[in-house]
Structure 1
Amino acid sequence: MRPESLPPLVIAVAMQVFQQFTGINAIMFYAPVLFQTMGLGKDSSLLSAVVTGGVNVVSTVVSIILVDKVGRRKLLLEACVRMLVAQTAVGGIMLVHLRLVVGPLGWLIPSETFPLETRTAGFSFAVSSNMLFTFLIAQAFLSMMCSMRAFIFFFFAVWIVAMATFVLALLPETKGVPIDEMVDRVWRRHWFWKRYVANADEARVNDNC
């Protein structure tokens, strides 16, 4: 709970919240239901769910290959654009025709932003946040789909915009930065988070005096 631990803690928890509220797990959990809603038969719905899972695996492999070459921020922002287009398109199609209703980086970033002395505790916050919001979305999705219908995909789209804004403003690039240099090379230089590290440094100086 020290001030210098706030930047990676906020980022770790926020990434888990965004991972769930951008709709990825809701769609993965309820893919057969969604495809049946769109008029596909039971067998086709299950096959479509398998295809969706396959795309998820391939996308994860691509992310693993590109993450150290392209960087975390660029991949996240590119994913935000694709997810925004996809969610808006699905919502629009279902609104017009039916009248019904990015991710491995969410785990990678928290694992490398905490300094070594708080990494275990910090990552436990990230995992707990992920499980909590996975549970909330899984429990609420069907009710939300029944009440919001097609607009649930626009709901997810709004969260994608919020995620992109967060990444642009508050998520520093950590590509190629060793964990033991994270404070000096990332947090002390970031336009917003550096104030928390500076306050911690000042407090230590006062304690020593």
Structure 2
Amino acid sequence: MSQPLAQQERFNTARVVQLATVAALGGFLFGFDTAVINGAVTPMRNEFGMGAGLTGFVVSSALLACMVGAYAAGSLADRLGRVKVMIIAAVLFTISAVGCGFAFGPWDMIFWRAIGGLGVGAASVIAPAYIAEISPASIRGRLGSLQQLAIVTGIFVALLSDFAIAAAAGGGGEPFWFGMAAWRWMFMAEVIPAVVYGVLALTIPESPRYLVAKGEHEKGREVLARVLLTGVDERIAEIKRTVTRDAKASLADLRGASGKVLPIVWIGIALSVFQQFVGINVIFYYSATLWQSVGFTEEDALMQTVITSITNIVVTLIAIALIDKIGRRRLLLTGSAGMFLSLGTMAWIFSQAPLVPGPDGSSMPVLGDTEGVVALIAANAFVVFFGMSWGPGVWVLLGEMFNNRIRGTALGVAAGAQWLANFAISTSFPGMAELGLWFAYGFYTIAALASFFFVLRYVPETAGKQLEDME
């Protein structure tokens, strides 16, 4: 019944794109906040006199806060509304940016980074939920992919901002405006997009599905009427059918009649974990270090990092063009197959590379000219296949695969699992690399293969379905 209705829907394209773009600004800050520390790590470490362990925790502590923020945002979104959580996230981003800029030592830096992590976690939940709930079914995948496009754009802008500030000051540790070190201004640059996000969030309406769930049916209808040109009453009727007035979702709602966690929740958690277990953030967090460790110069390694971030933006645009045409499942399956082949190639090359003593006494692989080129191609192929599939695809699915009753809470749990998996993979890579880069990439290869069969067996196709038809 609803498939033909989804196909016949007429809508105000400009309006719905505007709403989705504002919501996706949370994704931009998500990417900016997680990447901005890259340019500040070394000068900050030198100024605070931190060892390697403490420096690592300053960087990774934000990921644990992201997990808490994602979990809390899911419940808050169901209680306070989607827009209010966006505003809360914007405030957290602003406080974190200023706090990090004026930090006087590692321990308060950890605190301010954690505040930003709460904002990142909240943004990772609220943007896909709002976009899914405001979008017409026929273009929901493309609009949901704006979240991933915003994330990778935020990463790129953060790296560019760090470079520009360091270049203007003559180095990240050199004094810049008002005598403050340049690395501090790298953090404070985030104030600008954070304030813009908060101000624009005040201009968009609340999700119609949230309003109906709260019994504000007429307000929900008014919001939906600004987006849909046809079928507004039918859509409101279906929303009413799938939500309970004044009900507040909780963790208990994620369990079925048997008392066990609903299968769709486990699928969402597994999608989140697989997205991280293929090792994508190793490429973004450690790529410069990785390429230097196998013989590339620092300049060449940094250039590869920039190329990787640009590549990720381009392939996300490809995903936006494809996701509603070929469906979510086919996109994920294609991505899993491509990641398996590219990661397997890297694992094989590193397993065959001769080892030589490194500067710190540990053994490091050395790639020949041919092997180095193949490894670079494979690494960028991995980014291409991830960026056109699992990058945007998982966020789209998490925003739409849960029913109206549990969407906010279930999305919060799944996103929380994603941040925990991110933390586990990011912190385990140095230890795995000590055993051998072949071992680390071998693990990611196995995860990519497992993700293929998981999607094939368990992940439902949601393209073209109304949110009210999600079980």
**2:155 corresponds to:** none
Amino acid at match of 2:424: L
Structure 1 stretches of 5 or more lacking a match?
184-209
**2:405 corresponds to:** 117
Q: CA deviation at 1:108?
A: 1.1
Amino acid at match of 1:131: W
Q: CA deviation at 1:151?
A: 2.1
State yes or no: 1:52 paired with 2:52: no
Matches within 5 A, 1:69-84: 69-84=325-340
Q: CA deviation at 1:128?
A: 0.7
Are the aligned partners of 1:21 and 1:159 in contact in 2 as well (CA < 8 Å)? yes
What is the alpha-carbon distance in structure 1 between the residues aligned to residue 325 and residue 350 of structure 2? 37
**1:88 corresponds to:** 344
Are the aligned partners of 2:287 and 2:301 in contact in 1 as well (CA < 8 Å)? yes
Q: Deviations over 1:58-83 (max 9, x none)?
A: 11111111100011111101001110
Matches within 5 A, 1:57-72: 57-72=313-328
Out of 443, 450, 457, the residue aligned to residue 169 of structure 1 is 457
Q: Deviations over 1:1-28 (max 9, x none)?
A: 3227713211111111001101111121
Aligned-residue RMSD, C-alpha = 1.5
Q: CA deviation at 1:142?
A: 1.0
Matches within 5 A, 1:1-209: 1-3=254-256, 6-99=262-355, 102=386, 103-183=391-471
Amino acid at match of 1:3: G
Q: Deviations over 1:43-72 (max 9, x none)?
A: 100000111111111111111111000111
Q: CA deviation at 1:94?
A: 1.8
Amino acid at match of 2:267: I
* TM-score (norm: length of structure 2): 0.38
Q: CA deviation at 1:38?
A: 2.1
What is the alpha-carbon distance in structure 2 between the residues aligned to residue 111 and residue 57 of structure 1? 21
> SS in structure 2 opposite 1:49?
helix
Q: CA deviation at 1:115?
A: 0.6
> SS in structure 2 opposite 1:30?
helix
If asked which structure has higher relative contact order (CA below 8 Å, sep 6+), I would say: 1
Q: CA deviation at 1:97?
A: 2.8
Are the aligned partners of 1:20 and 1:26 in contact in 2 as well (CA < 8 Å)? no
Q: CA deviation at 1:148?
A: 3.4
The structure with more radius of gyration: 2
> SS in structure 2 opposite 1:175?
coil
What is the alpha-carbon distance in structure 2 between the residues aligned to residue 151 and residue 135 of structure 1? 19
What is the alpha-carbon distance in structure 1 between the residues aligned to residue 354 and residue 344 of structure 2? 15
> SS in structure 1 opposite 2:463?
coil
Q: Deviations over 1:143-192 (max 9, x none)?
A: 11111331211111111111111100001111111110122xxxxxxxxx
Amino acid at match of 1:142: P
CA 1:98 to 1:32, structure 2 compared with 1: closer, same or farther past 3 Å?
Answer: farther
The worse-fitting range, judged by mean Cα deviation, of 155-164 and 88-97 is: 88-97
* TM-score (norm: length of structure 1): 0.83
What is the alpha-carbon distance in structure 1 between the residues aligned to residue 274 and residue 436 of structure 2? 20
The worse-fitting range, judged by mean Cα deviation, of 99-108 and 21-30 is: 99-108
Are the aligned partners of 2:432 and 2:439 in contact in 1 as well (CA < 8 Å)? no
CA 1:174 to 1:98, structure 2 compared with 1: closer, same or farther past 3 Å?
Answer: farther
Q: CA deviation at 1:98?
A: 4.2
Q: Deviations over 1:76-113 (max 9, x none)?
A: 01001110111011111122234456211121111101
What is the alpha-carbon distance in structure 1 between the residues aligned to residue 466 and residue 446 of structure 2? 34
Are the aligned partners of 2:324 and 2:463 in contact in 1 as well (CA < 8 Å)? yes
Are the aligned partners of 1:11 and 1:110 in contact in 2 as well (CA < 8 Å)? no
What is the alpha-carbon distance in structure 2 between the residues aligned to residue 95 and residue 2 of structure 1? 45
Q: CA deviation at 1:135?
A: 1.1
Amino acid at match of 1:60: T
Amino acid at match of 1:2: R
Aligned residues: 183
What is the alpha-carbon distance in structure 2 between the residues aligned to residue 68 and residue 50 of structure 1? 29
